[in-house]
Chain A
Amino acid sequence: MPTSNNQKGFQIFLLLSVFVVATCGLIYELVAGTLASYLLGDSITQFSIIIGTYLFSMGIGSFLSRYFKNNLIRWFIQIEILVGVVGGFSSTALYLLFEHAAYFKLILYLLVGVTGTLVGLELPLLMRILKDRIEFSDLVSQIFTFDYIGALLASIIFPIVLIPYLGIMKTSLLFGLFNVLVALFICLRFKSEISAVRYVIAQGIAAALFIIVGIFFSEDLLKIAEATAYADKVIYSKSSPYQRIIITKSSEDIRLFLNGNLQFSSKDEYRYHEALVHPGIMNAATPRKILVLGGGDGLAVRELLKYDSIESITLVDLDPSITQLFKSNPLLRELNQSSLLSPKLKIINEDAFLWIRNNKRKFDFVVIDFPDPSNYSLGKLYSLSFYKELKKIVANEGCVVIQSTSPFFARKSYWIVDETLLKAGFYTLPYHCYLPSFGEWGFVLASPTDHLSDDIKGTLPSLRFINQKTFKQLTYFPDDMSKLPSPVNTLNDQLLVQTFEKEWAHYTQQ
């Protein structure tokens, strides 16, 4: 009697193992498919290829199972542990690698292949382990029954319970843990038949602990994934309703990223901001009333405040999170010399286009420091309509400066900005300078009247970059950046956004 009881318990135990193993196997497949859809888009293609690759790899695993001759139980357990770790950490690995891997798809399919192969080994090995212990027809029937039930369970709980409540990382880690636990239980059950069993148990416990730690910290993994995207330490990260703000710091450099795009590096931002502000000031007849659009970091304002003659500065930046941050953070205040706290400054957190359309006052000098025209929303701020509105608020003898992306990386885009300003009735003076952290960068100086000059006398002696001699050079465009015949960017035909996208694609493709 005890033997038959034992036998029954043994069977139930093994079939439960099959059930868990099968569920885990399908979960890994679903995790890979879901993640590929998230990261690469086009869910039909991703799911289809992932499922195919996975099933094919299981076939490879089944084929390879014939080469395992001895110590089957031990092999089975070790494969289980390996499946648990590889499958469990698959989503984490893919997330972390997505940023850096040049051949992300290759890694994705390789990982799917490895997991599939290991899962494919499981059942053939298990059947061979059990073939002498259970009647063959029962064995086949029971193993496949539980295999398919497990698959059904996995496919139902994955979308309904797991993804909504656990998220994708915790799901794969949890099922990795189940795999390892099955290995450990089998290990304990077949203690006597396994050589160096303690060593195997130690392996299993280590893997289980490893995964548990992973589950515990999975909340932070996304942050780690984000942090690894930046070369330096992330010291500030916040999502405002408008953008994701990240500040990184190394021993001698502070960098600001908005939606992942570098805005400045403290090492060379002085070049950018001197070039942005001073040629325009020199070209405005009486720079008393100044408007800054964008530029919530206060760095352009810092440059403006070097002139005592300036009476008032109005800063319009959509995102209060940025202006608040650069007003209050000591490190950043050191950088902008507390410019945002100046009594001459008025900060307005509004949409620049709406504000400029409703504004009736005139300004002597306008600094425009918007993000690049990388989407149709931002592209509106580089349109003919915007520049027509702009022209209404610039004093006749005043001027405007516009950061206009790189004339080297996005040459056509740069000259579209210039052409659009000309079409709006401005006279323009294009110039560019070299920024070590960005490369060649372009600006356009524009005025309602024909008085702009590349000969700026009497620049402040305290400046490190801009002076009369330098600026003259900056207005010269070598042949590889020189003016192109360009179309005009309008709200109804945003050629700039399309051009910009194409031009930068050359430099961002991996």
Chain B
Amino acid sequence: MDRRSFLVKSGAALVGSTIVPLQSCQSPAEIKKQLSGPNRKFGHMLLNGKFPNHSEEITTPVVIVGGGISGLSAARQLSLNSVDYVLLELENQVGGNSSKGSNSVSSYPLGAHYLPLPGKHDPDLIAFLKEVDVITNFVNDIPVYNEYYLCFDPKERLYINNHWQEGIIPQNGILADDQREFVYFHELIRGFKELKGADGKEAFCIPLSFCSNDPAVRKYDKITFKDFITKHKLKSPYLLWYLNYCFADDFGGKMENISAWAGIHYFSSRKHSANQTTDLILTWPEGNGWLVEQLKKHSISKTISNSVVYNVTIENGKCIVDYFDGMQGVSKRLISERVIMATPQFVNQRILSGSLNRKLDYLKFKYAPWMVANLTCSANLENKRGEQLSWDNVIYGSNGLGYVNANHQNVNLYTDQRVLSYYYPLTGDNDKEERQLAYKRNVDEWYSLIINDLNKPHPEIDKFISDADIWIWGHGMIRPSVGFISEVSALAQASIENKILFTHTDTSGVSIFEEAFYLGTQAARKIIME
């Protein structure tokens, strides 16, 4: 920046600082705050289990339970192959963890908000992305991505030592010893990226079913990531912070409560082709809600929303799905050849009939609760020196994950209002207690927790916030604890009599779009093939 414009800016900052106290008279009541989350009324109905007897029986070849990414992906695959089905969704709208919201300023994510470029094991996903113009064409079989959907520059910045630095790996004011540990860690990861098991399969990749079963690799699932790091004598507080940040972001966990295998997978499963030097990602103002909009076009006429599935069983070789239609207030029965359960296991535990005798320890499934707040904000989020407002803006040492600028992918030069999506997972070991804590906080308590965090880089930001849409996910993403992937995952993915298939990502232990898309598509393909 040239000095002249800087002087003008700092002058303005001085003048600004004399005006601020007058503005502080503004009543906080002017901020529109809202606390919401997935439909808890229907959830409680499930817990109580009191539903009227079904008044109608409908026959259909396939029933899909759950309209998250895996359910929608299965539906798309069935539609493409002209197989008829019914998709039942508990909520008012489909999308699951990739749901979205919107206001007059922007649409915004309520959950997942980006998709890394798919790798070579994902031809189906690549075909879908081509279908929706995210991939515009291929050059020598390498996909060319639509520039408007690739995350614009500047991508990430980190607030550390009172300064916004570029990227989220701490660099500003970091000592040489710490930097050496980062180098060591990256070398370690590079090794895992190239590692192959004795079965010839890649040690870590996406989808997870392509990963090697070699015990030499799977042994990392027997220890926590903390054990792994300790074994390598890594102890730089900056590195530890960075690792914990990544695990909170992807698993709602921390080094102490996730398996080393899952942690290593996070860093080493995404390998890019030779022409992609940087870690590119795809993103939209509404996050993966955009992908939901594209996916659901295939199933919109076959979707029944507001429906509470309360019983799934097999009788006389036919699948039975009983659900309560929340719009009509009546229960109905679907009789089908196959059922795709695209629902998380904490739900399946309640709705699968006991007679099915599924051998699964549901207590092994841990889900971190999450808070996602979308703040409509008119503040200038750039400090005098340091990196410009980026897509992902992280605060070092904070319990939150920072905020994403939902308006980042807009092409216009100036924006006076933006929506900031602020993420906060509750990473404690006991997910049940954390869930109670998340539900206990009222809207004002959540709001002040967010503001206290954002005040570090942006003092007085609350004066510039007009709306706060706070969303609580009681059961956010699955947390891959020790042993889950090697012991629980396969059991959870095993079908019941080849009639009831399970596609939710909590069966994999890693809640990512690619995995959900793969599981859903594969289940549908299996039905089509037979």
| Chain A residues with a Cβ under 8 A of chain B | 38-39, 41-44, 95, 98-99, 163-168, 222, 225-226, 229, 239, 241-242, 244, 257, 259-261, 318, 351-354, 357, 374-381, 383-386, 490-494, 497, 508, 510
Stretch at the interface among B13-21, B60-68, B125-133: B13-21
Interface: B10 (CB within 8 A): yes
A229/B384 in contact, CB under 8 A: no
Q: Which residue of B lies closest to A501 (CB)?
A: B1
Contacts A38-B13, A41-B384, A376-B153 known; 4 new A-B pairs at CB < 8 A: A41-B163, A167-B17, A492-B152, A494-B154
Question: In angstroms, how far is the closest chain A Cβ from the Cβ of B241?
Answer: 19
Which residues in A have their C-beta under 8 angstroms from that of B154? 376, 494
Interface centre among A42, A44, A239, A354 (most CB of B within 10 A): A42
Q: Are B411 and A38 in contact (CB under 8 A)?
A: no
Q: Are A260 and B8 in contact (CB under 8 A)?
A: yes
When distances are taken between beta carbons in the complex, the residues of chain A under 8 Å from B151 are 492
Residues B20 and A164 in contact, CB atoms below 8 Å apart = yes
Cβ contact within 8 Å between B162 and A167: no
Look across to chain B and name the residue whose beta carbon is closest to the beta carbon of A166.
B18
Cβ distance A490 to chain B, nearest Cβ, rounded Å: 5
B342-371 CB mask vs A (1 if < 8 Å, else 0) is 000000000000000000000000000000
Q: List the A side residues contacting B7 at CB < 8 Å.
A: 95, 98-99, 225-226, 229, 260
**Contacting residue for A385 out of B10, B147, B162, CB 8 A:** B147
B8 / chain A contacts, CB cutoff of 8 Å: 226, 244, 259-260
Asked if B386 is at the interface (CB within 8 A of a chain A CB), the reply is yes
Q: Is B412 close to A, CB under 8 A?
A: yes
The answer to whether residues A164 and B412 also contact, given A38-B10, A492-B152 and a CB cut-off of 8 A, is no
CB distance from A145 to the nearest CB of B (A): 32
Residues 200-256 of B at the A interface (beta carbon under 8 Å): none
Interface centre among B153, B163, B385, B414 (most CB of A within 10 A): B153
The answer to whether B18 and A318 have CB atoms under 8 Å apart is no
Q: Return chain B residues, CB-CB under 8 Å to A167.
A: 14-15, 17-18
**Assembly CA distance A244 to B150 (angstroms):** 32
Contact with A along B135-157 (1 / 0, CB 8 A): 00000000000011011111000
A351 to B: closest C-beta gap in Å? 4
Contact across chains for B3 and A261 when beta carbons are under 8 A apart: no
Docked CA distance A44–B172 (Å): 13
Instruction: With CB as the reference atom, state the residue of chain B lying closest to A378.
Output: B413
* 27 examples of A-B residue contacts, CB within 8 angstroms: A41-B385, A42-B161, A42-B163, A42-B385, A95-B7, A98-B3, A163-B18, A165-B18, A166-B18, A167-B17, A222-B15, A241-B416, A260-B2, A260-B7, A260-B8, A261-B4, A351-B414, A378-B413, A384-B147, A385-B411, A386-B411, A490-B150, A491-B147, A491-B150, A492-B153, A497-B153, A508-B2
A244-B5, A491-B153 given; A353·B411 CB < 8 A: yes
Establish whether residues B384 and A38, one from each chain, have CB atoms under 8 Å apart when the complex forms: yes
- Asked if B280 is at the interface (CB within 8 A of a chain A CB), the reply is yes
* B412–A261 touching, CB < 8 Å: no
Contact A318 B414 (CB under 8 A): yes
Nearest A residue to B411, CB-CB: A353
CB nearest to A389 among chain B residues: B411
Contact status B414-A242, CB under 8 Å: yes
Instruction: Give A239 to B16 CA distance when docked, in angstroms.
Output: 14
Are B414 and A491 within 8 A (Cβ)?
Answer: no
Chain A residues with CB under 8 Å of B20's CB are 164
Q: In the bound complex, how far is the Cα of B150 from the Cα of A352, in angstroms?
A: 21
Q: How far is the CB of A45 from chain B (nearest CB, A)?
A: 9
B79 beta carbon closer than 8 Å to chain A: no
Whether B150 contacts A241 by the Cβ 8 Å rule is no
Minimum Cβ distance to chain A for residue B379 (Å): 14
